[in-house]
């Protein structure tokens, strides 16, 4: 790094006079050099050496003030002045301005060619940059070798520290140290970005030029991203494996089987704790679209996962989470005696955190029974899912339904275990589902709302549809199901079928 001290040590000037009473900041870097005059505008760069003929400003304090203030604003490194006769002093006002702004101002011999200063300094700057490039090339090579050998971020940090001959700390976006190296307050931070995404910072405690900082940023960002993304890939793979196992349990896999027990142990999961199942969906005010739900889940699933795990941990509990068909499925460790209180507090905190992504988010939650003893993963999931279905079927968002407190759940649960009845349900609803799929309509949604309201005007208002269009859709539902919405018995049968519409794929 070329500094003021390096410049003053050259044979370019035989003498100089400090025009302020402040000490010259000898270690301050010089990154650029120019010959300039008023107006300065935005032509001066940070750490730039500015050379000027002071003749126009010797007797004009205001012009000199404007020049000095402009250099201070631009964070120039040093200001060199030359004047015929080699005699000059600053006014008291301008001297104080320069001292307060930390700008060294030197009077240099009139007979020194500015071109000589310009060319010599520029030569040193180019040499410094070329040396930095060679050093960075060696740094790149060693870091790539280290990565391919499977080292961690601590090893990468040590390599960087060795090449830059300074202390180094690597942190994530939240400021958490990833290399066990403490971060000092006076360190310079370099953002680490990949494809426009900020994934962390590297902090160094050495004075360096902006040009070198840019070089390091362009070099270290793609290199360190290898470590960050490797760890992220490993973490995501582990999360996916955990979620797959949780989904298997929800679908009836035996938690006591040797395969499941061994897999859970490898993943650090304890299946012997007492859990309750929570099934939830995230909705947007005035937008019940399934497409919106799917897009939101795809974009925010990592946020949801981290929020749920951290929220449970903050309450001293364990949580296991997966997602399916836009629904969040969570097994939360509970103490049966205070299970409802724990679940309520858990959901309060989780909702508050998730709403930071959008204040318009609303939620529907279904909660299984809370019992002592081993967790019945399959039935708890089915019961929580049925409870959540009742929330959405009745447009009761931001509600929490408990399976054990609703009599209809017991009836629906009994019916859902009857293969013959579920086959009947499948045969009744499949024509509607297939019609929605092929024609891209929303007859099932229309039917759900109609069964809730049983009033044409109210259904039209809730769905925002024209009355005639709604009547046509209701007629179509009758044609497809062969059941009449005006017959109370057939209407009741349709309502039971819709309530049981959880997952009919296994009844084909």
pLDDT tens-digit readout, 220-237: 888 888 887 776 677 777
354 and 427 fall within a common domain:
no
68 and 186 fall within a common domain:
no
Note the pLDDT of residue 349. Answer: 94
444 and 367 fall within a common domain:
no
pLDDT tens-digit readout, 426-457: 888 889 999 988 988 889 888 888 887 788 88
Note the pLDDT of residue 398. Answer: 54
Using only the alpha carbons of the chain, give its radius of gyration.
36
Listed range (15-19, 64-68, 419-423, 501-505) with the worst mean pLDDT: 501-505
- Mean pLDDT, to the nearest integer, of 403-412? 65
Whether residue 92 lies inside any domain: the answer is yes
- Most confident range (mean pLDDT) of 29-43, 60-74, 444-458, 488-502 is 60-74
CATH number at residue 492: 1.10.10.2840
74 and 108 fall within a common domain:
yes
Token duo for residue 56: 């126009």
Residue where a domain stops, chosen among 233, 259, 285:
233
Listed range (199-213, 238-252, 342-356) with the worst mean pLDDT: 199-213
Whether residue 246 lies inside any domain: the answer is no
CATH number at residue 135: 3.30.450.40
Instruction: Please tell me what DSSP assigns to residue 336.
Output: G
Token duo for residue 343: 């679940």
Whether residue 49 lies inside any domain: the answer is yes
Domain that holds residue 140: 128-233
On average, the pLDDT of the chain sits at: 84
User: Of 126, 123, 164, 160, which Cα lies nearest the Cα of 141?
Assistant: 160
pLDDT surpassing 60 at residue 75: yes
75 and 52 fall within a common domain:
yes
pLDDT surpassing 70 at residue 393: no
Note the pLDDT of residue 207. Answer: 57
Other C-beta atoms closer than 10 Å to the C-beta of 236 total 13
CA distance 440 to 290: 12
Note the pLDDT of residue 288. Answer: 63
Whether residue 344 lies inside any domain: the answer is yes
Percent of the chain with pLDDT over 90: 24
Residue where a domain stops, chosen among 370, 405, 440:
405
Whether residue 17 lies inside any domain: the answer is yes
106 and 187 fall within a common domain:
no
CATH number at residue 75: 3.40.1390.20
Token duo for residue 167: 């202390």
CB half-sphere exposure, 238, CA atoms < 13 A: 13
284 and 397 fall within a common domain:
yes
Whether residue 467 lies inside any domain: the answer is yes
Note the pLDDT of residue 506. Answer: 47
106 and 172 fall within a common domain:
no
- Asked if residue 446 lies in contact with residue 463, where contact means CB atoms within 8 angstroms, the answer is yes
Domain count across the chain: 4
CATH number at residue 309: 3.30.70.270
Note the pLDDT of residue 209. Answer: 67
- Mean pLDDT, to the nearest integer, of 465-479? 90
186 and 223 fall within a common domain:
yes
- Mean pLDDT, to the nearest integer, of 128-148? 82
Note the pLDDT of residue 279. Answer: 94
Note the pLDDT of residue 503. Answer: 44
Q: How far is CA 268 from CA 242, 257, 302, 483, in A?
A: 9, 16, 19, 52
- Mean pLDDT, to the nearest integer, of 126-134? 80
Distance from the first to the final alpha carbon of the chain: 75
108 and 37 fall within a common domain:
yes
Q: What is the band of 505 on the pLDDT scale with cuts at 50, 70, 90?
A: very low
Residue where a domain stops, chosen among 86, 112, 138:
112
Whether residue 240 lies inside any domain: the answer is no
153-164 helix and 210-250 helix, angle to the nearest 10 degrees: 180
pLDDT surpassing 90 at residue 142: no
pLDDT surpassing 60 at residue 397: no
316 and 367 fall within a common domain:
yes
3-state secondary structure of 279: strand
Whether residue 351 lies inside any domain: the answer is yes
Q: What is the band of 410 on the pLDDT scale with cuts at 50, 70, 90?
A: low
């Amino acid at each position: 790094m070329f500094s003021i001290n390096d410049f003053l040590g050259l044979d370019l000037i035989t003498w100089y006079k400090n025009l302020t009473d402040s000490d010259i900041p000898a270690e301050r870097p010089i990154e650029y050099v120019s010959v300039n005059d008023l107006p300065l505008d935005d032509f001066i760069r940070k750490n730039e050496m500015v050379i000027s003929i002071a003749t126009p400003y010797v007797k004009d304090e205001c012009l000199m003030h404007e020049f000095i203030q402009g250099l201070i604003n631009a964070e120039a490194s040093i200001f060199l002045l030359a004047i015929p006769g080699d005699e000059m002093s600053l006014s008291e006002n301008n001297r104080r301005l320069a001292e307060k702004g930390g700008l060294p101002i030197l009077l240099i011999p009139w007979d020194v060619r500015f071109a000589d200063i310009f060319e010599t300094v520029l030569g040193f700057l180019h040499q410094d940059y070329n040396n930095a490039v060679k050093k960075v090339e060696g740094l790149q090579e060693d870091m790539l070798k280290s990565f391919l050998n499977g080292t961690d971020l601590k090893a990468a940090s040590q390599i960087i520290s060795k090449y830059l001959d300074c202390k180094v700390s690597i942190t994530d976006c939240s400021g958490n140290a990833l290399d066990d190296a403490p971060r000092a307050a006076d360190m310079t931070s370099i953002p680490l970005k990949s494809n426009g995404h900020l994934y962390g910072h590297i902090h160094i405690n050495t004075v360096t030029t902006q040009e070198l900082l840019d070089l390091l940023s362009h070099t270290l960002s793609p290199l360190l991203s290898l470590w960050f993304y490797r760890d992220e890939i490993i973490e995501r793979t582990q999360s996916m494996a955990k979620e797959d196992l949780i989904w298997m349990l929800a679908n009836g896999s035996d938690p006591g089987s040797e395969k499941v027990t061994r897999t859970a142990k490898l993943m650090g999961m304890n299946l012997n704790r007492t859990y309750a199942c929570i099934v939830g969906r995230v909705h947007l005010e005035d937008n019940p679209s399934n497409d919106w739900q799917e897009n939101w889940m795809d974009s925010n699933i990592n946020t949801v996962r981290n929020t749920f795990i951290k929220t449970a941990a903050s309450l001293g509990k364990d949580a296991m989470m997966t997602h399916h068909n836009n629904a969040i499925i969570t097994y939360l460790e509970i103490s049966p005696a205070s299970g409802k209180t724990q679940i309520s507090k858990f959901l309060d905190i989780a909702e508050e955190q998730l709403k930071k992504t959008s204040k318009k988010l609303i939620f529907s939650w279904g909660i299984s029974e809370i019992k002592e003893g081993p967790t019945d993963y399959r039935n708890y999931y089915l019961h929580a899912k049925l409870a959540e279905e009742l929330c959405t079927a009745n447009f009761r968002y931001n509600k929490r339904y408990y399976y054990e407190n609703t009599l209809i759940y017991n009836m629906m649960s009994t019916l859902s275990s009857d293969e013959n009845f579920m086959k009947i349900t499948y045969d009744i609803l499949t024509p509607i589902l297939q019609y929605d799929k092929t024609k891209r309509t929303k007859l099932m949604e229309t039917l759900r709302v109609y069964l809730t309201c049983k009033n044409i005007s109210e259904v039209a208002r809730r769905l925002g549809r024209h009355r005639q269009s709604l009547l046509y859709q209701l007629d179509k539902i009758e044609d497809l199901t062969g059941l009449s919405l005006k017959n109370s018995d057939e209407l009741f049968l349709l309502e039971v079928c819709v309530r049981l519409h959880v997952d009919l794929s296994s009844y084909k």
